[in-house]
Amino acid sequence: MSEALINRLVKFAESGNQQKVVLSGQSHQGWVMEITEDALLISTGFAEKTGKDMWISFTDLQQAQLYYWDNKQDQWIEFPVT
């Protein structure tokens, strides 16, 4: 994985209060917890009892839409992948 893409994903993880990944019609909303050489870990749900950790590969992320929650605008903002 390129260093440029990893740096972009770090910026995504630091954007807004929460992040959302929409992949194959499913929305995964929560917090980016980790970025490795080939995947991103997002923790979803409100509490440990209902939350799930989900690894999303960089291959899948290429087909996903990324959003972050902007508190000032009080809405989801699309995060450009490139």
pLDDT tens readout for residues 8-64: 889 999 998 899 999 999 999 999 999 998 899 999 876 666 778 899 998 998 899
pLDDT bucket at 6, cuts 50 / 70 / 90: confident
The CATH class for the domain spanning 3-73 reads: mainly beta
Please state the domain extents for the chain: 3-73
Burial code (b: 16+ CB inside 10 Å, e: under 16) for 22-52 equals beeeeebebebeebeeebbbbbbeeeeeeee
Global pTM exceeds 0.75:
yes
Q: Which amino acid is at 66?
A: L
Q: 26-35 and 39-44: which strand pairing?
A: antiparallel
